[in-house]
Amino acid sequence: MKITIDGRSVDAQPGQTVLDAARAAGIWIPALCYHPKTGKAGRCRACVVEVEGQRGLKESCALPVREGMVVRTDTPRIHSVRRMIVELLLSEGHHNCISCQANGICELQDMAYHLGIDRPGLRIDSHPTPLDDSSPGILRESDKCIHCGRCVAACQNGVVNQVLAFAHRGSHARVVCDDDVPMGQSSCVQCGECVQVCPVGALTLKQPRERKIRPYEARPTKVTCPYCGVGCQIDLYTKDNRYAYAMAHEQDWQEQPNQGMLCVKGRFGLDFVDAPDRLRHPLVRKNGELVEASWDEALDRVAAGFKEIKEKHGPDAIGFLTSAKVTNEENYAFSRFARAVIGTNNIDHCARL
Ligand code: SF4
Ligand code: SF4
Ligand code: SF4
Ligand code: FES
């Protein structure tokens, strides 16, 4: 179907929201509580638009498209509502963009920039909340939380770990872990999905901070997680060839094996890539000591070992264990090597364990 957004004719699919259709057409509508993975929440009203023939502003993240509808996303009335929302959020929290880990990738900061807000025009005395530094990989700065609810939805319904929830009332309302315990003492499994969806600097990864790499400076490379056979797609962020942090690859997330999510290993376990003690050359044992060798020397040593065992004890004295961490093609080649070259059917795979 066709709808009109800001004077442009836009293709839309039945079941899409106005926000989805606008984004697919490259039209920017801010959305602080909606995230494609956590769905609509109706909390922030940042996404409001005007619809011809309808009274009041409508939340585009919850508004289904209709054939022929005419939508405006950028009028003085919409601007003034968005300005008020952003000014309230900035005034209520304790925001310090210069030193914030989310600087440059923060959706609230983006909104403030696009709306031309230099500094919030309001002053609200809010209750300061202590920093939660207790978890190994995640820093929680609740003073920057905008109560969008994305992290709660992600933890409850996405990864179904059910750690995060809203607690307390009125101006004391905030996101807590379990029965309001520090994250490090909670049942959190450190999957980091809450960080992945948080639009601001309220939940951040410690790894880039520890490496003194600001997230906006790092660039992503799409890689496949090396840890298990699921094949999760990861955006590995690096700066100057140094590892910074990892995020699930979110583009086309519904078609990815990991659906835009990661486990603790994929999220936090990839910093070995630039570990100083990482094995970078083959090692062979000489006089009881492991010493560096060329690949030719190491492979000759392995071949000689196989040959000797096979001659002395027969091919079935050798067994092969392959891995879900390598490709199907590599597993196939390994199987052919065991059966056709060595002559044994002693071959198994870690996925069966
Ligand atoms: S969360 Fe966003 S708006 Fe708040 S201090 Fe950090 S960068 Fe600035
Ligand atoms: S890291 Fe994972 S388990 Fe822990 S609070 Fe966040 S989403 Fe929940
Ligand atoms: S911590 Fe982040 S994702 Fe969670 S409610 Fe606050 S701003 Fe939203
Ligand atoms: S993004 Fe639509 S109400 Fe928050």
List, for residues 222-253, the tens digit of each pLDDT value.
999 988 878 899 999 999 999 999 999 999 99
CA dihedral 19, 21, 26, 28 (to 10 degrees): -10
Query: What pLDDT does residue 172 have?
Result: 84
pTM of the model: 0.87
Tell me how far the alpha carbon of residue 101 lies from the centroid of ligand 1, in angstroms.
8
Q: Is the CB of 177 under 6 A from ligand 3?
A: no
Give the model confidence (pLDDT) of 52-83 as tens digits: 999 999 999 999 999 999 999 999 999 999 99
The protein residue with its alpha carbon nearest to ligand 3, atom 8, reads 148
> Given the CA of residue 141, which atom of ligand 1 is nearest to it?
1
Location of each CATH 3.10.20.740 domain in the chain? 2-74
Q: Distance between alpha carbon 31 and the CA centroid of its chain, in Å?
A: 18
Which CATH class name applies to 217-274? mainly beta
Between CA 281 and CA 267 the distance in angstroms is 26
Return d(Cα 79, Cα 191) in angstroms, integer. 37
* Residue 35 CB contacts under 8 Å (≥ 6 apart), including other chains: 150, 154, 197, 199
What digits encode the pLDDT tens for the residues 81-107? Answer: 999 999 999 988 889 999 999 999 999
Second-level CATH architecture of 2-74: Roll (3.10)
- For the chain, give every residue range classified as CATH 2.20.25.90: 217-274
Distance 146 CA to ligand 3 centre (A): 6
Q: Which atom of ligand 4 is nearest to the CA of 31?
A: 1
For 108-131, the pLDDT digits (tens) are 999 999 999 887 667 777 777 889
What pLDDT, on a 0 to 100 scale, did the predictor assign at position 118?
Answer: 80
Q: Are 200 and 92 spatial neighbours (Cβ–Cβ below 8 Å)?
A: no
